[in-house]
Each structure stands twice: as C-alpha cells, then as structure tokens.
Amino acid sequence: MSQAPDASVSAAPAAPPGEFDLIARYFRRPAERALLGVGDDCALLQAEADQQWAISTDMLVEGRHFLAGTDPRRLGHKALAVNLSDLAAMGARPHSFLLALALPAADEAWLEAFSAGLFELAGQHGIELVGGDTTRGPLNLCLTVLGLVPAGSALRRDAARAGDDLWISGVPGEARLALGHLRGEWTLEAAALEHALARLEQPTPRVALGLALRGIAHAAIDVSDGLLGDLGHVLRASEVGAEVRADALPRGPVLAAQPEARRRACQLAGGDDYELLFTAPAARRADVLTAAAAAGTQVSRIGSVHAAPELRLIDAAGRSIDTEFCSFDHFALP
C-alpha cells in the first residue's frame, strides 16, 4: 500500500481526496507487531525461530460472497473474519493482515464504516494491518492473513486418523438459513432472521478454539463451503472415511423450528458459518470438551472417522441417508 500522508513535498498540484489520502485516513495505523508496516513497498515481519508462519488469502466479491448493499461495517467484520477462520483452522495465532480493495468509487461513508468493522475485529484479535492496495473497480475485497504456530503444531487437513471422533463447533447451517431468506427461497420470522443474518454477516472466527485444540485435535478445517463438502477435503487429504450422524448436529431454536429437509440442507451443505470441523482421538474427548469450555465455544461430537474411504450419513436409527448435498463451488453453481 503506497501512501503519502501529510504531503509537504509534492510535484503535483492539490488533488481531490484520492487513493493516498483515503488510505492514510482510514487504514493507516502504527505498526506494533511488524518491523515495518503500511507505507513501504513491503511490510517486514520476523518471528521467533521456533514459530512457523501460517498464511492464507481470501477474496470476497459483491454479489457472490455478499449481497449488494450489505452494511459496510458488517462487511468489514466479515472480510477479516473469514480469513481469521483459516488461521483458526490451522491452530495459528493471528499476527497481521494485508488488504487489497477495489472500490467503484471513493465513498467516504462506506470506507469509514467498513474500516470500523474491520479494525474492531482486528483489535479483538490483536492483529494489525501491515500493507495493502486500493484501486478503482467492481467491489472486491482481498485479504491476506498471517498467523504464527509453533513448529509441528498446526492442525492440518491430512491428519485425521481412523478411530478419531468428528466434532463441529457452534451451530452450523444458520448462515445458509439467512441466505435462503434473502434469496427468497423461504421466509423467516423477524427474530429468526435477525439471529441468522448476524451469523451470515458477522461470523465469529473460532480462533480461541483452534488455539485450545493444539496438541489435542488431529485434523481441522473451517466450514466455508458446506459441512459435508469440507469434510470431504479432510477425508481425501487424510485418506480415510467417516460416518456423520445427521441428528447429532446441534440445531439451536431457529434451525429446530425449520422443516427437516430445509434444516438438513442448511446444516450439511450450507457454508458461511465458519465453524470448525475437526477430528480428535476418542481417548481425548474430555480434553476436547475442556479446551472448548476454555475457549468459550460450544462443540458437538457428530460422528467418527474410519479407515474405509467413504462418507456415510446416518439418521438417528443408524440408517444411511442418501444425500445430494455437495460442496459449494463458485463455478459449478449458477
């Protein structure tokens, strides 16, 4: 992110509020954790020798990841939250982030609200903006996050083992329930909508849980594309299979009030909740529950991992449920 606040040297005449002014006004904060933050060609970062960097990037496009007109404060929260969720799924401690932003126009009210939502969540996680880019273009938010994890402690997708329990944090499916309302697929009552919409627009990244699960959980992934689809990624990477008990999925009152087919579709195939799906040895059940309590996050045991490489969904009576639920795919879906 190039910027030039408080220009006293300039080869240029005074311009209307432009890229550099906007960046300085809304996105420049002093670097505390970085050796060098916003304002040079690159940021400079250094870690302790026994730490590894976890890094991830996510792009949010208007009309695809959020609807036009989404409250910019909530959008600032969400853009960072979905990236923090990737750190959570590795068991990494958030350190810093970069923000590249394409905007149709330099809308100050929008920028003020967006940056407020962004930095509020950043402050909660002690993470700082160290660089970025702004440009004019169709609304697009691309964040890159960096976290730290002790060498060998990351929760990887390929670490699930036969005999592991399968766990999920929180209540999966509520974000998809809100999306269905916004899309006109069904109608929620006001209170249910408010609850579900907050889950869609302001997901809570399970950072504390990811940290608490280091040394306990085997594999972890954040559910962004749908529970079964994301579970499939873990199973393939780990070369194992799993059995999921559909009725073991935690519902909460809002989902519990929905028809079974809708509820099941939201819970199994809906993304955007950013809950953690993880596996842990059956012998560590008590440790998982202690870690979750310490992190202040509900967790539910929803199935088990098996050696046979297939994914089986069963009902309360243990009968197989056929499922057409597929992972969200940004290109395959309409």
**Which of positions 278-297 make contact with a copy of itself (CB under 8 A)?**
none
Q: Is 324 in the site for a copy of itself (CB under 8 A)?
A: yes
Nearer to a copy of itself, 229 or 254 (CB): 229
Interacting residue with a copy of itself among 74, 157, 199, 263 (CB under 8 A): 157
CB-CB neighbours of 224 under 10 Å? 22
Which range touches a copy of itself (CB under 8 A), out of 147-155, 160-168, 195-203, 294-302?
A: 147-155
Which residues within the stretch 113-142 sit at the binding site for a copy of itself (CB under 8 A)? 130-138, 140, 142
Interacting residue with a copy of itself among 29, 39, 251, 285 (CB under 8 A): 39
Which residues within the stretch 294-323 sit at the binding site for a copy of itself (CB under 8 A)? 309-311, 313, 323
Q: Nearest approach, Cβ of 227 to a copy of itself (angstroms)?
A: 9
Q: Is 7 in the site for a copy of itself (CB under 8 A)?
A: yes
Find the helix or strand (DSSP H, E) in which 24 lies: helix 19-27
Nearer to a copy of itself, 35 or 257 (CB): 35
Bridge pairing between strands 164-169 and 299-306: antiparallel
Strand order in 311-314's β-sheet? 220-223, 275-281, 164-169, 299-306, 241-245, 311-314
CA distances from 131 to 9, 28, 103, 120 (A): 23, 9, 17, 17
Instruction: Give the separation between CA 200 and CA 202, rounded to whole angstroms.
Output: 6
Could you tell me how many residues of this chain bind a copy of itself (CB under 8 A)? Answer: 106
Q: Nearest approach, Cβ of 296 to a copy of itself (angstroms)?
A: 21
Which range touches a copy of itself (CB under 8 A), out of 173-181, 186-194, 225-233, 292-300?
A: 225-233
Of the CA atoms within 13 Å of residue 226, those in its CB half-sphere come to: 17
Q: Is 42 in the site for a copy of itself (CB under 8 A)?
A: yes
Which range touches a copy of itself (CB under 8 A), out of 39-47, 201-209, 258-266, 288-296?
A: 39-47
Which residues within the stretch 48-107 sit at the binding site for a copy of itself (CB under 8 A)? 49, 51-59, 61-65, 85-87, 89-90, 92, 98-103, 105-106
Q: Nearest approach, Cβ of 43 to a copy of itself (angstroms)?
A: 5
DSSP 8-state secondary structure symbol assigned to residue 91: T
Q: Is 19 in the site for a copy of itself (CB under 8 A)?
A: yes
CB burial of residue 262 (10 Å; 0-12, 13-18, 19+): middle
Rounded to 10°, the helix 190-201/72-90 angle is 60
Q: Which amino acid is at 64?
A: R
Q: Is 236 in the site for a copy of itself (CB under 8 A)?
A: yes
Q: Nearest approach, Cβ of 220 to a copy of itself (angstroms)?
A: 8
Phi (first) and psi of residue 68, to 5 degrees: -55, 140
CA distances from 34 to 19, 38, 262 (A): 23, 9, 46
Nearest residue to 3 (alpha-carbon basis) of 16, 21, 17: 21
Sign of CA dihedral 288, 52, 203, 323: negative
Which residues within the stretch 239-258 sit at the binding site for a copy of itself (CB under 8 A)? 241
Q: Nearest approach, Cβ of 37 to a copy of itself (angstroms)?
A: 11
Q: Is 144 in the site for a copy of itself (CB under 8 A)?
A: yes
Nearer to a copy of itself, 189 or 329 (CB): 329
Which residues within the stretch 183-202 sit at the binding site for a copy of itself (CB under 8 A)? none
